[in-house]
Amino acid sequence: MLKKAHSLLLLSVALLLFVLSACGDADSDSNEDSNGGSNEGETSGVDGDKEAVTIDFMHLWPAGVSAGQNKIVNEIIEQFEAENPHVTVVQEVLENEQYKTKLQVVSSSNQLPDVGMTWAAGFLEPYVKGNLFAPLDGLLENGFGDTFVSGTLEAYAMDDQTYALPLELNIAPIYYNKAIFADHGLDVPETYDEFLNVVETLVDNGVAPIALGNRDRWTGSLWYMYLADRIGGSEALNTAIDRSGTFENPKLIEAASETQNLVNMDAFVRGFNGLSNEEAKAEFLNGSAAMYLMGSWELPNFTTNEEIPQEFRENVGFFKFPTIEGGDGNIDSWVGGPGVGLFVAENSDVKEEAMEFVKFFVEKWGEQSVTGAGVIPGTAVDTSTLDLPQLYIDVLNELANASNITLFADVQMSAGVAETHLNMIQSLFGNEVTPEEFAQTHEEALSLEE
Amino acid sequence: MEKATETQTTAMLPKQKRQVARKPVLTRIASGILYLALLILAVVQILPLIWLFLFSLKNNQEVFNLAPLSLPAEPKWENYVKVWTEGNISMYFFNSVWITAVSVILTVLIASFVTFAITRMKWKLSKLVLGLFMVAMMIPVHSTLIPLFSFFTSIHLMNHPLAIILTYTAFNLPITMMILLGFYYTLPREIEEAAIMDGCSIHRLFFRIILPITTPVLATTAIINMIYNWNEYVFVNTFISSDKYKTLTVGINNFIGQYSIDWGAIGATLMISILPILFAFFVLSNRIVEGITSGSVKG
Amino acid sequence: MDKVMSNKKIIALYVLPALLLIITLVYVPIVLTGYYGLTQWDGIGERTFIGLANYSKLITDSLFWQSAFHSFLLAIFSVISLVAYLAVSLVLSGKIKGANLFRKIYLVPMLLSSVAIAQLWIRIYHPTNGVMNRFLESIGISNPPLWLADTSIVLFAIFIPIIWQYAGFYILIYYAALKNIPESLVEAAKIDGATPLQIAYKIKVPLIASVIKVTIVLAVVGSLKYFDLIWVMTEGGPNGASEVMASYMYKNAFKMNDFGYGSAIGFFLLLIALGVTWIIRKLTATKEEIQY
């Protein structure tokens, strides 16, 4: 027994020593690194006539799953470092949810990375109000601002100042499986009645019409938004959110009840309220559901993604959400908008370099993102010079012809109201609230913010 | 409960020769049923591991379309290749091992000290201190992120492995102590009385007698701590920015994209990360049993 | 003897390392959480002190009480499941062949991270392709439940993996406790003619009573602040049907940018856990045991 105790003691001592040595080691390492890790910027060493600086860049495009994006990011950074030898760009990559949590945590101590990714409107607002993001209007001079698709910059603006530059722009068409449509003699619907007919035919033949993963809730919001747009016109929802209108607008209530009508017709896959978007997408990709309303970020899956059978990819088409008879909507009005954009931290010690980097990045990104990563950038794309799959060209043309793009409702709203909206969407789809209650709850949440 | 204890009864019967002689057939049937139940339970418990292995050999299409326990037409070993070559998984692996090991040893040792002082030594504030430790168990982790972040920033420990080691130790101390407590209360007082009479110092008593006879529970808490630390990701993601200090759980980040997730690669990452802990678990788990031999000395 | 065992220096030496760690890394956040709960703060910009406004909102917030109710349900189910874990541990600690191997296998799921467990159970509960519904359909049930999409069963559907996830944890603790019982006591009882069932009930269980009490507290506190699987599998949905206190706290603090209110929920959760623990202590206290 004593022998055992002895060895245990020895073991723990040995391990503690290891701890101490490892920590000491780490300590010396992190001294150089902590300069990069925080916002202080490096002041060590002189390179040429400029002091060496480090830009911290936090983003959410890991090499593993976003290989295309990641490769472009690294190339741009290399080019930037080559042109600015005194600058080193250090990346930190996190996945979506961890990224958002970390952004908030580091903000609380005013420790934002020099450059990072943000979402538009409602997400951006508290950071701007907290004076954490630097205005980027200076960058937009000399014509650079004109290279962006009109309306995209506004999504990142508050009080006439722009706080981030968009890297992505998406619209949400309804993708459909041509083979399933052909099997049942269906044509692409141009009016809502034809669309309902498609749904009915598919249900009668035992095919799930629409893949929807409403556990994520913004997915169901897309359907409601389109119905609101086609019934009430593109301003109905926007004005309800910015308080110049109301959710109790009869047209919006009609949109909510039409949503429930679709649910009651069994238009959506079984158990949609418990499915994630990933699971719903799988049902569309394996041909068990005929339609899927989703952002144009899914295009790689229908064109270049080798993992998905070619036969399926060739069978995917898209159509615009059909117009509703008697409604005020325009078929060229879309739900969509810019996704992530780049911000510069207001208290960055290397603000000048960070600004330059952001401008450089957005320019280079715009040149390569569609071909290299399948991402439609916020800057205008010239389709005639690029070799792209037809589906991309079609979507880009639709984008060019769009009469209006309504920003995703949960992005437009402040975080608190967005949460109410998303919960209400899930309840609406679950038939747990009436369209009137749906409208009323939105009104209550919005009026609290005023 | 009823059923389980009943079967337990029969489990022990064969050992008792007199009873076996009395009703051999019934016992044999009962013991057969018991073994069958144990076997079924064992299969159910081992299936998740097999599922995870098969999961790691599929691509997204197969993950969603095939039955969970079916083998894909072509096992996608490339998932493992991808995991090993993209990202710094070997470095994460090394970090996971040493950070977990250090935290576990620190926690178990420090918790043993306190538990010993609280249960075996006499001082006025012992109950209050024990209460302090118990309350510390009740705070939800996410409430502590912002305060801890600003604390570590202010003492320049941000992005330093010590930040997570100390956090793991502090947050696992209460639960480790709770488990230890239950055992320390059952230790007979005579042991230390005898030791002190013999002129043994307290340190000697603690290291030479108390720690060895609590080996089973030390192994238990070590296993629990190890699992917690090994699988933890919220603190690492928040407190560590540089790749060189990140741990295995962070490797999953590499396969969760903005709009899509590479499930097969996540499966492979999880599979790689479970192997060392499985090994460590089997080793430590034996200490629980070995403990009895030394434990029985105390009689 | 008493003199040696009340040596102040040694007590300080043994207690202070842990106490220092806990106070700086756990108590400072607890106090700050309490303070943030008294402010209006999005976690990003300026903080304004608003007194008890968040708490008065909390008292009347039906969504919070709904989530608290769910957390309490989980606590009750967790405590009930302890009985089953104890039974399994009693069987395994008996002298049966292969007990050692069985025990190790039973604990394997505990090693899996929540990410893996969530993915497994999401596949099991899938409304059309899921293992569960495939099975139900094969035995002729034509309209099997929607599990995670059905607001009336989602909570219970999610309790099953949570309780299963912790099986290994408690079996491990009970097993170690049972193995710690001196053989001589059991042998003595056998010689006196006690049946194994009597040995289990009258000797083994009372001997590990202090461990059982600890596990009850652990199960209750753990359940009240439980977060992981719920967040990955449903995010508290559909429409709050599987919301628990910790997920509601997280949602308010990090998703709705109401860090002040989120902190108030976190602090209140702590108070609830404290109160419940105190009640458990009172209920399970016995005279000869040291009360703590």
Q: Are residues B40 and B89 in the same domain?
A: no
B198 vs A77, which has greater pLDDT? A77
Q: Which residues of A touch C141 (CB under 8 A)?
A: none
The most distant pair of C-alpha atoms in chain A lies apart, rounded to whole Å, by 90
Q: Which of C257, C259, C263 to mutate to test binding with chain A, by most A CBs within 10 Å of its CB?
A: C257
A171-337+392-449: CATH number: 3.40.190.10
Please give the distance of CA A35 from its chain centroid, rounded to a whole number: 31
Q: In the structure encoding, which two tokens stand for residue B174, read together?
A: 């209460």
- pLDDT of B240-283, one tens digit each? 988 889 998 888 888 998 888 999 999 999 999 999 999 999 88
Which residue, chain included where needed, has tokens 């006591």? C185
What is the Cα–Cα distance from A190 to A169, expressed in whole angstroms? 25
What is the CATH architecture of A46-168+339-381? 3-Layer(aba) Sandwich (3.40)
What is the Cα–Cα distance from C49 to C37, expressed in whole angstroms? 9
Q: Are residues B170 and B258 in the same domain?
A: yes
Q: Tell whether A346 is within 8 A of chain C (Cβ).
A: no
Q: Which of A16, A38, A95 to mutate to test binding with chain B, by most B CBs within 10 Å of its CB?
A: A95
- pLDDT of A50-60, one tens digit each? 789 999 999 99
| pLDDT over 70 percentage in chain C | 97
Q: Which helix (H) or strand (E) holds C216?
A: helix C209-224
* B39 to chain C: closest CA residue: C102
With an 8 Å Cβ cutoff, are A26 and B61 in contact? Answer: no
Q: Tell whether A30 is within 8 A of chain B (Cβ).
A: yes
- pLDDT of B110-158, one tens digit each? 999 999 999 988 888 888 999 999 999 999 999 999 999 999 999 999 9
Give the helix ranges, DSSP H, for A130-216. Answer: 178-183, 192-204
Whole-prediction pTM? 0.89
Q: Which of C84, C227, C270 sits opposite B138 (nearest CB)?
A: C270
Of B14-18, C114-118, C181-185, highest mean pLDDT: C114-118
Q: Which residues of A touch C148 (CB under 8 A)?
A: 215, 271, 274
Domains of chain C are 62-117+144-284 (1.10.3720.10)
What is the Cα–Cα distance from B58 to B265, expressed in whole angstroms? 9
Q: In the structure encoding, which two tokens stand for residue A373, read together?
A: 């990563």
Q: Tell whether B61 is within 8 A of chain C (Cβ).
A: no
- pLDDT of A322-342, one tens digit each? 999 999 999 999 999 999 999
Give residue B208's domain range: 79-298
Please check whether residue B60 lies inside any domain of the structure.
no
Give the helix ranges, DSSP H, for A130-217. Answer: 178-183, 192-204
Q: Which helix (H) or strand (E) holds A18?
A: helix A2-37
B289 confidence band (pLDDT: 50, 70, 90): low
Average pLDDT, chain A: 88
Write out residues 76-135 of B within 8 Å (CB-CB) of C: 110-111, 113-114, 116-123, 127, 129-135
Please check whether residue B130 lies inside any domain of the structure.
yes
Phi and psi (nearest 5°) for C75?
-60, -45
The answer to whether residue C8 scores a pLDDT higher than 50 is: yes
With an 8 Å Cβ cutoff, are B241 and A37 in contact? Answer: yes
Query: Coil, strand, or helix at residue C97?
Result: coil
What ipTM was estimated for this complex? 0.90
Please check whether residue B68 lies inside any domain of the structure.
no
Q: Which of B241, B248, B252, B290 to mutate to test binding with chain A, by most A CBs within 10 Å of its CB?
A: B241
Backbone CA torsion sign across A164, A167, A169, A174: negative
Under a CB-based contact definition with an 8 Å cutoff, are residues A225 and A259 in contact? no
Q: Which of A271, A418, A426 sits opposite C127 (nearest CB)?
A: A271
Cβ-proximal residues to A155 (8 Å cutoff; 6+ apart), any chain: A120, A121, A166, A337, A338, A407, A411
pLDDT at site A377: 93
Under a CB-based contact definition with an 8 Å cutoff, are residues A284 and A207 in contact? no
Q: Which residues of C touch B111 (CB under 8 A)?
A: 18
* A418 to chain C: closest CA residue: C256
Q: Tell whether B13 is within 8 A of chain C (Cβ).
A: yes
Please check whether residue B63 lies inside any domain of the structure.
no
Give the Cα-Cα-Cα angle B249, B250, B256 (nearest 5 degrees): 105
What is the Cα–Cα distance from C185 to C206, expressed in whole angstroms? 12
Shortest CA gap A231–chain B (Å): 29
Q: Are residues B48 and B95 in the same domain?
A: no
Please check whether residue B66 lies inside any domain of the structure.
no
Of the listed ranges A118-127, A193-202, C88-97, the one predicted with least confidence: C88-97
Of A200-214, A383-397, B4-18, C193-207, highest mean pLDDT: A200-214
Nearest to A405 by CA among A327, A325, A320, A341: A320
- pLDDT of C235-276, one tens digit each? 998 989 999 999 999 999 999 999 999 999 999 999 999 999
Shortest CA gap C15–chain B (Å): 5
The answer to whether residue B61 scores a pLDDT higher than 90 is: no
Give CB contacts under 8 A, 24+ apart, made by A302-311.
A302/A175, A302/A391, A303/A374, A303/A389, A303/A391, A303/A392, A304/A374, A304/A389, A307/B59, A307/B60, A307/B61, A308/B61, A309/B61
What is the Cα–Cα distance from B120 to B114, expressed in whole angstroms? 10
With an 8 Å Cβ cutoff, are C257 and A126 in contact? Answer: yes
What is the Cα–Cα distance from C292 to C281, expressed in whole angstroms? 7
Please check whether residue B65 lies inside any domain of the structure.
no
Nearest to A196 by CA among A141, A147, A265, A249: A265
Q: Which chains have 3 or more CB–CB distances shorter than 8 Å to chain A?
A: B, C
A48 confidence band (pLDDT: 50, 70, 90): low
Domain count, chain B: 2
What is the Cα–Cα distance from A274 to A295, expressed in whole angstroms? 20
pLDDT at site A398: 92
Under a CB-based contact definition with an 8 Å cutoff, are residues A223 and A255 in contact? no
* All structural domains of chain A with their residue ranges: 46-168+339-381, 171-337+392-449
B202 confidence band (pLDDT: 50, 70, 90): confident
Q: Which helix (H) or strand (E) holds C167?
A: helix C154-179
What is the Cα–Cα distance from A64 to B253, expressed in whole angstroms? 9
Please check whether residue B133 lies inside any domain of the structure.
yes
Q: Tell whether A311 is within 8 A of chain B (Cβ).
A: no
pLDDT at site A49: 64
What is the Cα–Cα distance from A249 to B146, expressed in whole angstroms? 41
Please check whether residue B258 lies inside any domain of the structure.
yes
Q: Tell whether A31 is within 8 A of chain B (Cβ).
A: no
Of B28-42, B66-80, B179-193, C16-30, highest mean pLDDT: C16-30
Q: Are residues B251 and B132 in the same domain?
A: yes
Q: Which helix (H) or strand (E) holds C54?
A: helix C53-59
For strand A333-338 and strand A404-407, is the pairing parallel, antiparallel, or unpaired?
parallel
Give the helix ranges, DSSP H, for A168-321. Answer: 178-183, 192-204, 218-232, 234-242, 250-264, 277-285, 299-303, 310-314
C190 vs A13, which has greater pLDDT? C190
Nearest to B46 by CA among B69, B23, B64: B69
